[in-house]
Structure 1
Amino acid sequence: MTYYAFSADEQPASPGSPYTPKLTRTQRLVYATAGVLIGLMSTFPNALTNVNLANISGSLGLYVAQASCLPALYFGMNASSNLALVKGRAQFGIPLISQGLLALYALTAAVQLIWPGLLMAALARLTNGLAAGALNSLCIFYLLVALPVRARPLALVVGISLTQFGTPLARLIPVELLAVNQWWGLHCLELAVPLALLAVTLIFPLPPSERVVTFERADVLSIALLTPGIVLACIVLGMGKAYWWHDTPLLGELSMACALLLAAGVLIEANRERPLLRLQWLSALNIARFIGVAFLMRLALAEQTFGSVGLLAAAGLNNDQMHDLFELVALSMVAGIVVTVTLLQERRLPLMVVLAATCIGVAALLDSQSSNLTRPHQLYLSQSLIGFGTTLFIGPVLLYGFIQMLRQGRENMISLVVVFSITQNVGALAGSALLGSYQLERSHVQGAALSDHLTIGASDVSARLATGSAALRAVVPDPLQAAVQSGALLARSLNGEATILAFNNAFQLLAGVAGLVVLTVSLSILRRHFLQTSKQKEP
């Protein structure tokens, strides 16, 4: 490849993108396989940590509330990483950026194995978020090289869809494998992923990219202000429910620091001649609508990452009892990619988003009828709809933003990538935080409403207490203690029922969010149709 003379039609689309030489079928298959592997593994280590967070916190010497900052650190760094990565790839080349970040992540994961604790866990999540930001683009680049010219727009759609498989795959890993020697198995697996991907990029390197000087001195100041501001915002969202929003002064202090950093960064960007974030372009109506829809959809997708899993966890189920469910979710996500690729046309992009939001809304309504007897097999349909809607939404909405960017100038590339990354990462955290907080508040309301019907002396309450007391006599001989324990069991049963009802309320809220997306995009489609019809009628 060193002495290959690239023709005019093999030039990179932009600085930082690879050349696209003519390849044999075998070479295309190799690049496609590498791209798929990179896409699937880009979010897998963080998802593996997230779905087992409550269990591994003890092995790290942390309370669960303290450990809640770890996913936030990942999301914050991943959301802000493209402030520097887009220009970094163009100036230093794809191999240096991607392989350097993978090596850094592998190093912190290795050190975490030796010295587990909060500090190393936090550094591992930060470097994981940074590396994942590079891997998301790297997956797209590998697919771009593998596909023929006419099919290259599919690289963007399929590449970003593959990054959504992290959580379903993480749910399929047996807990026994991960929990070996105080969760040493999980940390070993986390180390294996960057090492494997580093080997893939070294054995099957991308074609070279066009390198140009892109960084300016003012970029350093903007990145230094915006990156910690976004990370702090994610920490507040991640820890808000655990420590509660208005009970912890530290959350207020972090929020203030976040606001100051972001305000200073935006002020600097607004007064730059060549800013990283083109605020005027981002405030245009079609782009603002794109940002709003992308953010709301990510909020609605919390139905699966927090809602349905939280519902089953409240019933005492763990990952091993959800394998069949998440196998179906993964297959549904594959089906979503297939449908997206089959139907992909610019005029159909809004319709595909409407269909995806409808699937999520219907799924949320189905789950809102749950009870304390709900088990994974009863969620097969609803969670499959969400898996299908996830990949049906993520690719088309990013492609829509990319098309708008191309029409108005490639200088908006960084703005598009950064804002889309923020909507997905911050939206994911915000969805879990807001849904979890709403569910907790509703559980108190539902618990109070249920307790109003439990009056001392009522025949049904007395019968329930007597039955419970009689059942406990075999292990609690003292009648008084048996009666106390029976009352405690009744209270626990009431709290469990209130929790399920609160989850149902949360699902109804998410159905409303999905409905808002359907309404917004549908009105946009109708408006565009009306304008086109009016122009055709003009003489």
Structure 2
Amino acid sequence: MSEPAQNPAPQPAPQMSLPRTIAYMSAAVLIALGAGLGQGFVSANISQIAGDLGVTTTEASWLLIAFIVPRSCLPILLIKIRTQYGLRRFTEISTIVYVLADFAAVWMDDLRSAILVEFLSGSASASLSTLAFLYMIEPLSQQWRMRLGLPMALCFLAMGPSFARVISPALIGDGGLLRVHLMALGMALISLVSVYVLPLRPVPHMKVIRPLDLISFALIACGFSAVITGFVIGPLRWWTDAPWLGALLAAGVGAFAVAMVIELHRKEPLLDIRWLASPAMVHLTGALLIFRIILSEQSTGAPRMFQVLGVAPSQLVTLFSVICLFTLLGTLACVAWMKPTRVPQFHFVALILIACGAWMDSQATMDTRPEQMILSQAMIAFAGMLFMPPAMITGLISAMKKGPQYILSFIIIYISTQSVGGMIGSGLFTTLVNHRQAFHYQGLMEELATTRPIVAQTLTDQATALAPQITDAALRRAQVVTQMATDASNQAYVMAYNDLYFLTFLLAVLAASALCLHVFRDWLAARIEARRTPTPETSS
């Protein structure tokens, strides 16, 4: 998560030389990728990690929770921590924690130590996201910070999880996860050197942390933790089989409610709840949340469907390389053509691209391979960067018009819609896939009843083909029945993912339609207001 500084910008320093500018922006890219690779390595290699630790995949999912929770919660306080204790100290401590977490990852050998390491990694990742943004805008003039610095920082932060799937197969090979941890450690050490060699401009210190800030932060963190845990574990353990999930989510909602009550009665709140509840901010929050849930199709859909179909991670390298490339191209399109007045057009094009890509994916079959999804996934990746930077800039401009203290309130919107919204989207989509897979599997097994003549004939033919390998007739028939059930299960999963892709298509079309209606309403309101406002000639 990237976030701007809360304090007013200091007086601009003299223009940096080109080599120094390149050095600062390269450091930003390295730090941003380091922040995103941590989550990507866990999600891409969860089965491998579970095997190395000797636990189940469900138990290993707690590692993802341990990483996401601090990454989602800590940015709430990071702005104030940076303002009160100084940018230099904040930079050094953040990077040192990053190095220590990656160093400890090399030696982790059980689930408890791994959870602790991932918690430290998530904490460091929250800080690194801030540093990536600061280093990206450091050498830029004021007019280019929003137009170039923000989109580029968001690009490489978003690219991290996909880039992890590109490099993981080559790193893992036959040596397990050791080389993955060593690479993360190497990037952390280079980042540590970079922050010492390339210092950021200092900002004035101010005592801004209040005791009630810590209480509100603790309550909000509890709420985020409950939601993230519920939507990660819920689809795995299944919602109705784990009653504690309902109690956990209820406790999370209660923590959010108490935090809101506290903030509404403070003179200097951590979050301005009234401003967040204004129609403009509710609209922005809804747009960001819906879009983040729609984009969960790329992280939840294709990789898991190909895993079911038996596609090796090395076969996904080309697909995710293209996704990374088009994420960058979408960012460059934003830099070239983005203006505040063009935000609706950017969002409309993004939603149409996602709708087209999701519809193409919904035609998948058992024979679909990554090469057939390159175009559709490239469209979705390009659309993601057409939507996010303009929305982020719109929110920041609205916050800065109200005052620097409102920036933190907007940061909470971004956190809740991206980190938490991503987990909600992934959990909902996984739940939908599991539900639809069971539905389709039941239907397929009814069609494959052995009492049907065509099914009985197919069983006989396949059993006969296995006669040279298996001499026992009963074993041959059992083998054929098992293989047929496995094929039916895989087919049911593909049909379930097609339902998911089609649902994404419908959501994107509905969102595009709602955007058109919203723009038409604003245009109509402006026309009516223009007719009501007297012109100077009429007044005279």
Q: Structure 2 length as normaliser, TM-score? A: 0.94
Matching residue of 1:512: 506
Q: Which of 262, 265, 271 lines up with 1:268 in the alignment? A: 262
* Contact 1:18–1:141, Cα closer than 8 Å, also in 2: no
**SS in structure 1 opposite 2:241?**
coil
Matching residue of 1:55: 48
In structure 2, give the amino acid aligned to 1:228.
Answer: C
Residue 101 (structure 1) shift: 2.3
Distance 1:520 1:502 in 2: 27
Which residues of 2 match residues 416-495 of structure 1 at below 5 A? 416-495=410-489
Cα 1:19–1:144 change in 2 (3 A) is farther
Q: Which of 7, 32, 41 lines up with 1:15 in the alignment? A: 7
Which residues of 2 match residues 291-306 of structure 1 at below 5 A? 291-306=285-300
Cα 1:17–1:318 change in 2 (3 A) is farther
Residue 396 (structure 1) shift: 0.9
Matched, 1:146 2:139: yes
* Contact 1:79–1:426, Cα closer than 8 Å, also in 2: yes
Residue 49 (structure 1) shift: 1.6
Distance 2:428 2:437 in 1: 14
Matching residue of 2:331: 337
Q: Which of 347, 350, 353 lines up with 1:353 in the alignment? A: 347
Which residues of 2 match residues 62-461 of structure 1 at below 5 A? 62-154=55-147, 155-178=149-172, 181-461=175-455
**SS in structure 2 opposite 1:365?**
helix
Distance 1:510 1:238 in 2: 20
In structure 1, give the amino acid aligned to 2:252.
Answer: C
Q: Which of 20, 23, 27 lines up with 2:20 in the alignment? A: 27
Cα 1:180–1:203 change in 2 (3 A) is farther
Residue 180 (structure 1) shift: 5.0
Distance 1:296 1:236 in 2: 19
Residue 404 (structure 1) shift: 1.2
In structure 2, give the amino acid aligned to 1:145.
Answer: E
In structure 1, give the amino acid aligned to 2:119.
Answer: L
What are structure 2's unaligned runs of at least 5 residues?
535-540
In structure 2, give the amino acid aligned to 1:21.
Answer: A
How many corresponding residue pairs? Answer: 528
**SS in structure 2 opposite 1:130?**
helix
Residue 275 (structure 1) shift: 0.9
Single out whichever of 160-169 and 362-371 deviates more from structure 2.
Answer: 160-169
**SS in structure 2 opposite 1:452?**
helix
Distance 2:227 2:493 in 1: 28
In structure 1, give the amino acid aligned to 2:99.
Answer: A
Q: Deviations over 1:310-333 (max 9, x none)?
A: 121111012210111111111111
Matching residue of 2:31: 38
Matching residue of 1:502: 496
Q: Structure 1 length as normaliser, TM-score? A: 0.94
* Contact 2:38–2:125, Cα closer than 8 Å, also in 1: no
**SS in structure 2 opposite 1:451?**
helix
Q: Deviations over 1:475-502 (max 9, x none)?
A: 2211111112111111111111111101
Residue 397 (structure 1) shift: 0.9
What are structure 1's unaligned runs of at least 5 residues?
1-11
* Contact 2:35–2:128, Cα closer than 8 Å, also in 1: yes
**SS in structure 1 opposite 2:131?**
helix
Distance 1:521 1:96 in 2: 44
* Contact 2:168–2:180, Cα closer than 8 Å, also in 1: no
Distance 1:18 1:490 in 2: 69
Identity of aligned residues (%): 25
Residue 174 (structure 1) shift: 4.4
**SS in structure 2 opposite 1:68?**
helix
Distance 2:195 2:243 in 1: 45
**After TM superposition, where is structure 1 displaced by more than 6 Å over at least 4 residues in a row?**
none
**SS in structure 2 opposite 1:160?**
helix
* Contact 1:472–1:482, Cα closer than 8 Å, also in 2: yes
Q: Deviations over 1:195-247 (max 9, x none)?
A: 22122111111121222111111111111221132122211111111111110
In structure 1, give the amino acid aligned to 2:398.
Answer: Q
CA RMSD between the two structures:
1.9
Distance 1:366 1:16 in 2: 47
Matching residue of 2:538: none
